[in-house]
Amino acid sequence: MHLYELPIHQLRDKIDRQEVSPAEVLAAFYRRINEVEERVKAYITLTEEQAGVRASEPLSGPLAGVPLAIKDNISTAGIKTTCSSRLLANYVPPYDATVVNRLNQAGAIILGKTNLDEFAMGSSTENSGLYPTRNPWNLECVPGGSSGGSAAAVAAGAAAGALGSDTGGSIRQPAAFCGVVGLKPTYGNVSRYGLVAFASSLDQIGPITKDVADAALLLNAICGHDPLDSTSVDRPQPDYTQFIKEGVQGMRIGLPREYFSMDFDQEVKTSVLAAVQRLEQAGARVEEVSLPSADFALAAYYIIAPAEASSNLARYDGVRYGYRSKQNAKLSEMFTSTRSQGFGDEVKRRIMLGTYALSSGYYDAYYLKAQQARTLIKEDFDQLFKEYDLLISPTTPTTAFKFGEMSDPIDMYQADIFTVPVNIAGIPAISLPCGLDSKGLPIGLQMMGGHFAEGKILQAAYTLEQLLAFKEQPAEVGGAE
Ligand code: GLN
């Protein structure tokens, strides 16, 4: 077993027992990065020098010596944070995001910043302003997105764990495509301070890890109240690792009928249902349930998210941040050409959609309607979580697709069908691998819980992980030789 193959909790044990030093662990990960990065392209920036200095200092805390990757829309002081956009290609934040601060306090070491779809808009990293990341299971396939770099890095052993952000599925979908674990926390559980805003009422930062125990460890480190984020919730925090124990006896699990009756990849459906059966055999009570408003979720998301994005992205005018177009006669021309040259096509598409949905005359028909649908969706979930501990669905309707296969943006949006309702309702959800399809690509299973039910989700996910014992490794980059 190579060091880069170990989950965080095992690396920590080795470091604690002084079998390896943080510097040796770090060196092993950079060697691995050198081995696979040319093929996978998970990173935008590597921070080898800073990481080396840190590994030589005394480190303490629950993540002491653990090398992690950070999605490149999370601010890092003194380290470029590009959002994979030409507009921020040379932007160096003057401060750390709260999550980065907390990881540092916990003793973690940052390996580098990972690739994403520009401003986190997309599901494949094909919208990256730099280059796409490739799926370590099959280099002709996308790793998912928008946190595709983070998920691919973890899957390839190029990071022990990573942070992603999830506005409509961007942690869970790439985790599913890359055969790793991705957790989107409850809205307000993790500070968004320093996360470059996409759609502020939906965005949440969370961990992407090799296993469920590691997700609990990282969530412990990053969660909790932050006065710098007004939407962060002040409540007592449990130790999430306490939930890493087996048992689903008596847990009530719902399977949303509306999801399973949709037309999607039969292999995905079969694999998810087989996993559910294992939980049932382990003592969970499983029933079919109804989410009548689920039908509106995708449409509501693709109005609310672009509307918020159009407002959030108004700040990139060439005056204060990043790229500025040169040689313009007038200030208004400078604004226009900076934005025309700086943003990629998908970002422009979202800004136009959002601006349209918010403009007078259309506001009531689109934005207001979408907000009303949002309330209905949230009420559906609230109602179900009075009776059920968890809901289970596939994370994605298909496994990883090939580059270029989703050339119509609407097709790409459809891939978010199972993940966006979670963000709309603000609830937590995890994706974990539950098998491989006949092409050898990983299948993701999604568990959703009520607000702040991360503990329950982690316990059920850990139990399922033990039952399934999914040990496959990505073949393309030479996982477990
Ligand atoms: N794929 C979705 C989108 O393109 C979700 C993105 C995200 O969660 N950041 O908007």
pLDDT in tens, 111-168: 999 999 999 999 999 999 999 999 999 999 999 999 999 999 999 999 999 999 999 9
Active-site hit among 75, 84, 165, 170 = 170
Whether 419 contacts 169, CB under 8 Å: yes
Neighbours of 287 (CB within 10 A): 10
Active site residue 348: no
Residue 75: asked if its preceding bond is cis (omega within 30°), the reply is: no
Span 211-246, pLDDT tens digits: 999 999 999 999 999 999 999 999 999 999 999 999
Mean pLDDT of the 300-316 span = 97
| Rounded Cα distance, 185 and 428, in Å | 5
CA-CA distance, 218 to 171, in Å (whole number)? 14
State the alpha helices, DSSP H only, in 343-453. 345-358, 369-387, 409-414, 420-425
Residue 170 designated active-site: yes
Residue listed under structure tokens 């077993």: 1
CA pair distance 164, 181, nearest whole angstrom: 11
> Domain 3-250+425-468 is classified in which CATH homologous superfamily?
Amidase signature (AS) domain (3.90.1300.10)
Q: So what's the pLDDT on residue 480?
A: 42
Q: Is the pLDDT of residue 7 over 70?
A: yes
- Ligand 1 mutation target, pool 84, 85, 117, 419, most atoms within 8 A of CB: 117
Active-site residue (options: 85, 146, 150, 191):
146
- Whether residue 201 is predicted with pLDDT greater than 60 in this model: the reply is yes
Cβ neighbours, 10 Å, residue 24: 15
DSSP letter, residue 321 = S
- What pLDDT score does 327 carry? 87
Task: Give the tokens for residue 475.
Answer: 């073949």
Share of the chain above pLDDT 90, in %: 96
State if residue 342 touches ligand 1 by the CB under 6 angstroms criterion. no
Would you kindly state where each structural domain of the chain is located, as residue ranges? Answer: 3-250+425-468
The token pair that represents 293 in the structure block: 């408003």
**Ligand 1 centroid to 120 CA: how many Å?**
6
Closest residue by CA, ligand 1 atom 10: 121
Distance of CA 200 from the midpoint of ligand 1 (Å) = 13
Kindly state if the Cβ of 198 falls inside 6 Å of ligand 1. Answer: yes
Contacts of 293 (CB under 8 A, 6+ apart): 373, 376, 377, 379, 380
DSSP readout, 23-66? HHHHHHHHHHHHHHHHHH--EEEE-HHHHHHHHHS---STTTT-
Expressed in angstroms, the distance from the first to the final Cα of the chain is 8
Decide: 416 in ligand 1 pocket, CB within 6 A: yes
Asked if residue 346 has its Cβ within 6 Å of ligand 1, the reply is no
CA of 167 to the centre of ligand 1 (A): 6
Burial of 444 (0-12, 13-18, 19+ CB in 10 A): buried
Tokens standing for 127?
Answer: 């919208």
Separation of CA 173 and ligand 1 centre (Å): 9
Could you tell me the pLDDT band of residue 75, with boundaries at 50, 70 and 90?
very high
Residue 408 CB partners (closer than 8 Å, separation 6+) = none
% of the chain residues with pLDDT over 70: 99
Question: What local confidence, expressed as pLDDT, does residue 323 receive?
Answer: 95
For helices 8-16 and 22-40, give the axis angle rounded to 10 degrees: 150
Task: Give the pairing of strands 252-256 and 181-184.
Answer: unpaired
**CA of 166 relative to ligand 1 center, distance in Å:** 7
C-alpha 123/C-alpha 125 separation (Å) is 6
Average pLDDT over residues 1-22: 97
Mutate to test the pocket of ligand 1, among 395, 408, 416 (most ligand atoms within 8 A of CB): 416
Question: Rounded mean pLDDT of the chain?
Answer: 97
Give dist(CA 133, CA 124) in Å, integer. 8
Is 326 catalytic? The answer is no
* Contact by Cβ (8 Å): 145, 116: yes
* Residue range 257-271: mean pLDDT, rounded: 97
**How many other CB atoms are there within 10 angstroms of residue 101's CB atom?**
18
Here the tokens at position 222 are: 């990053």
Average pLDDT over residues 356-377: 96
pLDDT beyond 80 at 476: no
How close is the Cα of 280 to the center of ligand 1, in Å?
32
Where residue 475 falls among pLDDT bands split at 50, 70, 90? confident
CB 276 within 8 A of CB 282: no
Residue 279 has a pLDDT of: 98
Q: What is the pLDDT of residue 285?
A: 98
Q: Is 120 in the pocket of ligand 1 (CB under 6 A)?
A: yes
